[in-house]
Structure 1
Amino acid sequence: FKRRLGPTEVSYYLGSRGEGVESGVNDMYLHIGFKARASLMNPERLLDIWTELTSRHGLLAATVEYENVNEVRFCYEPPKNAAAARAKAKSLMEVRAGQDQKELLDSYLNGSRTLSDERLSYLVFSTPETSFLPADLEQEQEYDMHLFCTHFLGDGMALHTTANELFTLLAAKPAEEGEPNIKKDGEEEEPAAFEVEKLAQAMESKLTTPEGWGRMAWAGARVEFNRTQAKLVGGQAFPRAKLGERRTLVPTISYDSATTKKALSSCKSHSTTISHAIFALSNIAYIRSTTAGTGKGERDERLPSMLYSALNLRPYLQSGGDWYHIAIGYYNIILPSFLPSTISAAEAFWYRASVVRKQTSEVVKSKWMASRAKLMALERERRAVGFEREDERRRAPKVVVPEVNKVEEKVEEKKKVVVPSTALMGLSMLGNLDGMYAHKNYHGLQLHTLTTGSRQRPGALLLFAYTFAGKLWLSLGYDSMGFQEGVIESWWTEMQKGVDEFLLA
């Protein structure tokens, strides 16, 4: 099967076509640390499960065919039999013993690219122990699961849903329904029928618009989209620097169950959520960690702070078909860049959290949601194509053209007022992930740690916030070589202080 990439997929694909350490921008990872009964972790059994998942979700085993910026396709060849399905899955999976988890992740984020056009996903099970399986198979052992995937293939919701499928199968007894039944190499001579009829469709083809939506409606949607984009004003940014080659760090903190419950209770009493609070906290931490002024590197209080975030569009898609594909849009939150002197910091914080709630609600409840998502996808695709063409010209051999003397004609241009639309940072609010992982069904397994993120471009900064295993987690991915020394570290310290001051008071 082949299909062209949709606009959102194209924008992410072209953005990943860098060189060296800048290749693979936005390649995602999901890491889950867990304790398991060793009898469940036989490598052959793990391969059975991964074979099942790559058979269910064809894009995981697909490749990309690139001709030019306008002709990019997913290619998927259904396996002819169970042995072929198993062989394909085996090429996309690895089992490691004696592997330090942090070293593995650092290599993925900062080393040579793991994924490629021929390998869009990769699954790694590892253990820090010297042997992957202990002598006593009834003994429990620590393991780590890393699911790697290009961002043009899927998104966070796809990763988490697939991980839940994986651990459900891993915990299942052989006789239980749902246990993978993939035959081993050589056990089957007749071809097996796989039910993958076509690849998961692009998000844009599944977005639903109101009944009777026609040409006039799209004209109005374009006007509304342009008007909304023009209102995105942001004039704050962390001071950048080029201290060396990009190096992503991922400092992560978690709060125990009792502390998490207290934070959730504080949000509920103020009619907000953890997600709303983290936006407000990011804004206040920035104000407290910077100096007000109009000079270089100072915070100009006259301009607001703009923060961007991904928006899960799956509730707005037509149902049916494989769900493993990217389905995200984007929205922005705009907040003041100063703290008022007439109210307390706590009052300002909770008020800003309520402002975030209101702005978020206006986005998700808008009748223009589907049209905005499609138009933004087309805009992102247009920008990505432009950047890729510039890169292609840069990579092409340079041709020296003789200069021709021209008479310059001075033309007086009217100066336009340029409104800044700089985003301070990105936030990914994943919500309560315990609602996506069926912990109670994971017999013989105990999931205790989760981190997620992606390979970044230089100067990137993205904060994740979520609850998992009953704990609140804050995980920051940033380029430690892309900002002035101490800038992000000071902001991160103020974030942690803010949690104690506002959410746990």
Structure 2
Amino acid sequence: MIDISSLPTLPQAAADSGEDVPVHFRLDDASPEAETGSAIGPLHRYRYERKMGDSELAYYLPSRQTGVNDMYLHLGFRAPERIVRRSRVCTVWAILRVRHPMLCARVEMNDLGDVGFIYDAPASPEDAYRDADVHLECRTQSKEELIDAHLNGSRTLSNSRLSYLIISEPPSAQAQLPTPPRTPSPTNRIIEDSFTSGGENGTEYRREYKFLLCTTHFVGDGMALHQFGDDFFALLAGGRPDNELECVLREEWHTRWRVPPGTLSQQRLVGGQTFPRQTHSERHSIITTVTFTTERTQTILRNCKAHGVSISAALFAICNLAWARMGVGGDKTAPTLMYSALNLRPYFSPECARPAPWDSYWYLALGYFHVVLPSFLSSDPALLERTFWLRARQAKEQSIRAARSPLAASRTHEMARERADRAREQGVWVASCSSTRHRSDANSPPKTSVLPQRAKVSSAAFIDLSMLGNLDGIYKHAGFPDAELHTLTTGSRQRHGAMLLLAYTFKDRLRIILGYDSNGFEGDVVNRFSPQAGPPSIFQIGLLNVGKLSEG
């Protein structure tokens, strides 16, 4: 529903640090009366409200205490100092927050059955800038310190802060790298007129910076996260002078807010293989990363293509065989069940594109699918390579079947409802309000399954895999020539005893990241499974030359 209310403009936000923060940010508007109100009266902030969907609720409820699933995106980059001035970064941050209202919304919860988003649209471009400034911080921390603070420190986000941006210049980044002069062009001449060169002979010095975006998972997914990263650097480092970016912010606000805009069952899923876990009062997340060279990445791609599978399918098989080779307890007759996120954005028809301000790509569009593979290995080592590629093809077939199923949309809705119900009843944090579901179901007749009775089996999942694919298809590096992205790390805060394996290609290099709670698993079982285990790593052997899996 939409509730239009009149609220005062936010006060000027104080600068966090740095001398480059303007005391008064002013966008030169061609029609000042339109903002002062002589024609339309006092400025109004339009309020929008909507109830959370089931998928959003399933992510929100467990996050309330410690920020479970809060996402982050780290990008390391080099750029001239003029590109990363706080005022310029804040303008770009404000532009994107105006485009994507979910980043600026807040959550209001009355009880477990009544949770919704509230968004107060900015009353002016200056208002949008001040709000962005409040949610921007400059630091001098390294990549490891930034990520560790997000994963293991106090929670960065909250019900009233669904996104937060950090720009950091580590102390070690003082070693500056000169870059050659840019090719002359009208745009470049404008920039050169606006800024003084920092080096000799027309060169500029590029410093090392870290970009860290923190968002809650219930406002979007990984695809939105990476699309945002590309959009951010296209604006920040695309060659536009500061005054042009300020015009973009004014135009975005005028376009969007100058005038208010108007029973599917999972019983067939059988698992049972799980890592031995232990109970610990504290959670401590650890991130291990394996990065392949460009040459090895190409070798892996050729190897997979020759056998008719993708890297994603191969990784399912690698995890399956790595676990089978470890031989850590459990019933070896039980299969290995792994699950992964299903990107639902391709299902949305381009013809259904919505006008501003409903054209944001920040929304949650995730389903889930499962891959079930056998847990045993052949006693004949010579068959190990054939077994690997067979299971990779099985993983590919199951993934395609899930993505192309005509019931994908219905199944996603049903799974979201089930996950929301579990979040209401079995959340990691006990809410101060009672569950409305118990009250509404008190007088309802018991539900009887129409499916035939089956013997109860374990549906425990072994590991969660997130296959992000080739992110170079999202980041258009040519679109921001003033910055060079060289590092990308992403993930989310995890619950106790959780484990997540991510894989993606960035800058033509394959990266595999394993994040897990180091206090949640027994002994060295995770270290033995880790992509960094070795030498040589079972992941590296499996992808580069699977036949060698029979050795050692």
Under TM normalisation by the shorter chain, which class is it? 0.7 to 0.9
Match of 1:139 in 2: 205
Q: Does 1:260 align with 2:302?
A: no
Match of 1:369 in 2: 408
* CA deviation vs aligned residue, 1:250-305 (integer Å, no higher than 9, x gap): 111101100100001100000001000011001111111234xxxxxx13111000
Match of 2:443 in 1: none
> Take 1:73 and 1:394, find their aligned partners in 2: how far apart are those partners?
15
> Take 2:57 and 2:517, find their aligned partners in 1: how far apart are those partners?
25
Match of 2:335 in 1: 304
CA contact (8 A) 2:95 2:248 kept: yes
**Alpha-carbon distance, 1:174 to partner:** 2.4
**Alpha-carbon distance, 1:382 to partner:** 1.2
Match of 1:174 among 240, 245, 248: 240
Q: Does 1:48 align with 2:91?
A: yes
Match of 2:487 in 1: 449
Q: Percent identity?
A: 40
Deviates more, 1:334-343 or 1:382-391: 382-391
Matches within 5 A, 1:38-437: 38-97=81-140, 99-129=141-171, 136=198, 138-174=204-240, 179-181=245-247, 193-195=254-256, 222=263, 225-226=264-265, 229-291=266-328, 298-318=329-349, 319-320=352-353, 321-342=359-380, 343-388=382-427, 391-392=430-431, 417-437=455-475
> Take 1:334 and 1:198, find their aligned partners in 2: how far apart are those partners?
52
Q: Does 1:498 align with 2:538?
A: yes
Q: 1:50 to 1:439 in 2, by over 3 A?
A: same
> Take 2:293 and 2:205, find their aligned partners in 1: how far apart are those partners?
27
> Take 1:180 and 1:420, find their aligned partners in 2: how far apart are those partners?
57
Classify the secondary structure of the residue corresponding to 2:217. coil
Deviates more, 1:486-495 or 1:378-387: 486-495
Q: 1:300 to 1:196 in 2, by over 3 A?
A: farther
CA contact (8 A) 1:59 1:324 kept: yes
Q: Cα RMSD over matched residues?
A: 2.8
**Alpha-carbon distance, 1:132 to partner:** 8.5
* Counterpart residue identity of residue 193, structure 1: H
> Take 1:235 and 1:49, find their aligned partners in 2: how far apart are those partners?
48
> Take 1:154 and 1:423, find their aligned partners in 2: how far apart are those partners?
24
Q: 1:11 to 1:253 in 2, by over 3 A?
A: same
CA contact (8 A) 1:35 1:445 kept: yes
Q: 1:442 to 1:495 in 2, by over 3 A?
A: farther
**Alpha-carbon distance, 1:243 to partner:** 4.6
CA contact (8 A) 1:55 1:196 kept: no
Q: 1:169 to 1:132 in 2, by over 3 A?
A: farther
Classify the secondary structure of the residue corresponding to 2:291. strand
> Take 1:288 and 1:302, find their aligned partners in 2: how far apart are those partners?
14
> Take 1:267 and 1:370, find their aligned partners in 2: how far apart are those partners?
30
CA contact (8 A) 1:76 1:199 kept: no
* CA deviation vs aligned residue, 1:361-413 (integer Å, no higher than 9, x gap): 111111111111111111111111112498237999xxxxxxxxxxxxxxxxx
Classify the secondary structure of the residue corresponding to 1:51. helix
CA contact (8 A) 1:308 1:330 kept: yes
The normalised TM-score by structure 1 is: 0.83
* Counterpart residue identity of residue 155, structure 1: D
Classify the secondary structure of the residue corresponding to 2:431. helix
**Alpha-carbon distance, 1:104 to partner:** 1.6
Match of 1:484 among 514, 522, 527: 522
CA contact (8 A) 1:58 1:199 kept: no
* CA deviation vs aligned residue, 1:307-345 (integer Å, no higher than 9, x gap): 010110111235323221110000000011111124522
CA contact (8 A) 1:302 1:337 kept: yes
Q: 1:463 to 1:431 in 2, by over 3 A?
A: same
> Take 1:69 and 1:232, find their aligned partners in 2: how far apart are those partners?
29
Q: 1:282 to 1:416 in 2, by over 3 A?
A: closer
> Take 1:250 and 1:198, find their aligned partners in 2: how far apart are those partners?
46
Classify the secondary structure of the residue corresponding to 1:238. coil
CA contact (8 A) 1:58 1:196 kept: no
* Counterpart residue identity of residue 359, structure 1: Q
Q: Does 1:465 align with 2:508?
A: no
> Take 1:244 and 1:116, find their aligned partners in 2: how far apart are those partners?
22
> For structure 2, which runs of at least 5 residues remain unmatched after alignment?
1-47, 177-196, 354-358, 436-452, 546-552
> Take 1:485 and 1:389, find their aligned partners in 2: how far apart are those partners?
25
The normalised TM-score by structure 2 is: 0.76
> Take 2:162 and 2:339, find their aligned partners in 1: how far apart are those partners?
26
> Take 1:252 and 1:389, find their aligned partners in 2: how far apart are those partners?
28
* Counterpart residue identity of residue 205, structure 2: Q
CA contact (8 A) 2:106 2:118 kept: yes
CA contact (8 A) 1:36 1:142 kept: yes
**Alpha-carbon distance, 1:38 to partner:** 2.2
> For structure 1, which runs of at least 5 residues remain unmatched after alignment?
201-221, 292-297, 397-414
> Take 1:388 and 1:421, find their aligned partners in 2: how far apart are those partners?
19
* Counterpart residue identity of residue 518, structure 2: S
